[in-house]
Chains A and B, each alone.
Chain A
Amino acid sequence: MRTNWAATVIAAASLIAPAVGKNVDLSTIPPRNTVQLTIYNSEDLTLVRETRQITFKQGVNPLQFSWANTLIDPTSVDLRFKTHADQLDLIDTTYPHDKPQMLYWNVRSEMEGPATVEITYFTSGITWAADYVCVVDPEETRMSFDGYVRITNHSGEDYANAQVRMVVGTINLVEKIAELSRRGLIADEKERAAGRRAVPKTPAKPARGRALRALGYVMDSKPKEIIKEGLSEYFIYTVEGTETIRNTWSKRMQLFEGTRAPFRIQYRYRPAEYGRHMVRLFLLRNDKASTLGTTPLPDGVVRLCRDNGRDGLSFLTQQGIKYVPIGQEIVLNLGPDPEVIHEWVLLRNWRDNFWFHRGGVNVHFSPTKGHRIAVNDTVAGWDDHQEWVERIRNYRAKPIDVEIRRRFGGHVMFRSGLNPTLYDYRTPQFSARVNPGQKRELAYRVTSRQGYDKKQDKVTLLPQDG
């Protein structure tokens, strides 16, 4: 416990309450017995729950709790009695105006002797984040998928031998904890106007002779299990045993190990999602069949490598993934593939099925319906036809599956022999397999009704002519 900056409880020896006015005083500093950190990743929020043993005397016992240079929310500090709860009462809490990161509790005791108290509070500055490392086998059929969590402590406080829990899920806060810790209970208007944030001072080196475990020097010799449990809409990861989370340090631990997870490869052209090029995707599922599925995957960065078969790795990609529930597909985007070439080629344009407007009578005529067109009639509607081809060349050693989505605006007829489906009302989607070395052409015709002839704003799928 560092009295300069750490969250500190001082039990004053004097029985006179309040004890804050005395110039000569005697205090004892009860150390933490246990501490538990519950760290949320959706907000800069950690719930700290610590227990300490305090010896009480009968009558009123003043306690001082201070948290100089930390990021504790003073409105969240709470004191409860774990033992002798029926003989101990918290009768008042005082926040002195001249000492912003401090409070006093007056506890009335009907007993004399030690009792265990639990102090809880919120702090900001402790965060955790997930990341994932995947290594694909040379055949590109399976991958290892290992998850890690990294805890970073910038709270201004060391937490030695803490039970660490991490919460996955989004919670609602109406005020940020960092702002509350900066503001204090009574906001300093000058500071608020200046918009400054209290930054904890870098702590001094720990004094020699501290417990080695508290410094994190004593290590277990086996990997710690991280227990994963669901709670309501949240998931809680609990690190086995205790961890020392030192201020300004970060620590990374393995969350899970996915071994030889099967995946499939697909090539997609979806401009709205992946930009205007065909991309290579590795698709797997967060489920038991994939040796995963023990936990939802929190937001994090995936780093994907491939065993290049030459006793080394090839770096494929790194990308952020959003929360993946158990059972959902994981999509890893490798970007364009130089061994798979995709071209979109317009082969032919033409127009027909004209409609003409006759001024004065305000009537439309169509020569294809046998109407006679006068010299002064003007074009009011027509059909645009375009013949397109998607050319795909596969230089890889394996067949590839491609899926293409094309969006068209207006009143469109999409004719093809590609067995397309509609992704939405204006986006045909079709798939094909391209064998190794094959140059495949996926052809279709798009008829777009224009002007007077335009009656809809959607794509209709039609079979290929003839």
Chain B
Amino acid sequence: MNSNYPVLEIKDLKVSINENEILKNLNLKVNKGEIHAIMGPNGSGKSTFSKVIAGHPAYSVSSGDIMFKGSSILELEPEDRSHLGIFLAFQYPIEIPGVSNEDFLRLAYNSKQKFYNKPEVDPLEFLSIIDEKLKLVNMSPLFLSRNVNEGFSGGEKKRNEILQMILLDSEVCILDETDSGLDIDALKVISTGINNFMNENKSIILITHYQRLLDYIKPTYVHVMQDGKIVKTGSANLAKELENKGYEWLTT
């Protein structure tokens, strides 16, 4: 892996689910230190895009490649992609009954430690690690004893995703509509969390419908995805333009 390569590079990616082609020749290059916002109408393939990068087994790649620091990750299992440094904050974080958030977070943390031959931490050590991170997203330690996402409000679920992102300290983070369903206060907390997390060694891909999030997080590039490919790329101003004009003007 060479630092001259982009952290993430998507080349002519074609993806289908149940014989339905969703991504059609998608290209994207993400360098470290960059924030890319991907916008686009419903059904344009944004969520598919995020899941394919993470290696969701329901999708099949018919051609093209996904490169992480210059090497293809198409053959890698989802957990190995995660260990390498790819994180996906889910649009709809799923509930996991019977498993406490604390156990889940510790296991995730230790799996990564193990992958890098670093010592795993015991529950006590972990508590002091997670305690700090909780403060960053303004969450009470009480939520550690609750089951993963079970009975969480929409805002809590999203904050939990950001908490995991911070904990795993991944290099490439894809946030799939992390802003949807949040009130203004929660949006501020989450944006602050993301901004504090971001630095010159990290990259973030924000999938969003709204300009609102981009008031808090300044993107390096804004892309418009339509019908499975990126149809326009621009600066932060493009988002404002979209907010005013909608998507239709792009196709006409």
- Whether chains A and B associate is no
B interface residues with partner A (beta carbon < 8 Å): none
